[in-house]
Amino acid sequence: MDAVARRKYSAALDMSSHAPQLSPPARANIPTHIAIIMDGNGRWAKTRGLPRVEGHRNGVESVRSTVRVCGELGVKYLTLYAFSVENWNRPKDEVDTLMKYLARFLKNEIGELMKNNVRLEAVGQIYRLPEFVQEQLAKTKAALAKNTGLTLILALSYGGRTELVEATRAIAQQVKAGKLDPAEINEQVIAQNLYTHAYPDPDLLIRTSGELRVSNFLLWQISYAEFVVTPTLWPDFRKPQLYEALEEYTRRHRRFGGL
C-alpha cells in the first residue's frame, strides 16, 4: 500500500461512521490522561497478505488521527506504547525497519504536531535506541518544546518491570548515600523515581485488537485506570473507536478503592 492509498484508506475510515458525535456527558468528562496499547499491526497486515511492516506503516495514520482528536477534545496527556523492551527480541530486519519508521515519523510529523500545539516527550530506555533515532527525537522535542496543548508521550524501549527495577535501584542509591531514610520510602518516593514522574497517572487505558492483557505497560501507573478493550486493530483505530472508548469511560464509576 503506497502513500496515496494509505491516505485514501485513512480518509475512508474517518468518514466511515458519518461524523460521530460525542455525547454531552462524555464531553464533560474527558480524561486528563489517556494511555493506549497500540496492538494489531501485524495481524492487520497478515489479513491483507502484506508484510508486517505495512501494518506499522499504516498504524502511523492512526497515531496522527488520535493525537489530533485528543488535542481537539482537551486531553492533556496521551501516552502511546510505541516500542517495548520485549520488541528488541523481534527479527533484526523488522526492528531495523521500525527504527527507520520511528525516525521518519519524528521528523515528518513536526509540522502536524506544531499545527496542533502538541508537545512531545518520551519515556523508557531511550539510550538503547539507535543514535539516529535519539538525535531525531531530541530535535523534535526541542522544536515542539514551547507548545502548550496536548503532551504526547511515546513509550520507547519501555517496560513496566524494567522501570520499577530502575526506580528501585535509584532509591537504593539514595539510601546508600544517606540522602533517604528507608522509613521514608512511600508511594510518592517510588512515583518520583519512575520515568513518568512528571506526568499524572492515566485515567483511561485503551487496548486495541481485543487482547486482554497489559503487556508490561505502566504497571504502577494504571493501578486505578479504567480499561477499555476494542476488537479494532490499531491501523483501523480512528475517531469513532476513540469516541466509543470515551463513552464507555463516562459510564464507569471511579471509586479508587472506596464506595
Summarised one tens digit per residue, pLDDT across range 56-79 is: 999 999 999 999 999 999 999 999
E strand intervals along 55-194: 77-84, 119-123, 151-158
If pLDDT is split at 50, 70 and 90, which confidence band does 5 have? low
Give the number of other CB atoms < 10 A from CB of residue 105.
20
- CA angle 227/233/236 to nearest 5° reads 110
pTM: 0.92
pLDDT value for 254: 80
Q: Look up residue 225 and give its amino acid.
A: A
Using alpha carbons, select from 222, 224, 230, 231 the residue that is nearest to residue 246: 230
Question: Any residues with CB less than 8 A from the CB of 162 and at least 6 apart, and which?
Answer: 85, 125
Alpha-carbon distance 150 to 112, whole Å? 13
pLDDT value for 10: 55
Show the cell assigned to 202. Answer: 492515566
Catalytic residues: 39, 87
pLDDT value for 259: 61
pLDDT at 217 over 70: yes
pLDDT value for 3: 52
pLDDT value for 13: 61
pLDDT value for 180: 98
pLDDT value for 257: 73
pLDDT value for 14: 61
In DSSP terms, 204 is beta-bridged to 34, 226
Strands of 226-229's sheet in order across:
119-123, 151-158, 77-84, 33-37, 204-207, 226-229
Alpha-carbon distance 128 to 112, whole Å? 27
Are the beta carbons of 85 and 162 closer than 8 angstroms? yes
What CATH class does 22-161+200-249 carry? alpha beta
Domain boundaries, the chain: 22-161+200-249
Q: What are phi and psi of 119, to 5 degrees?
A: -100, 145
Show the cell assigned to 151. Answer: 503532551
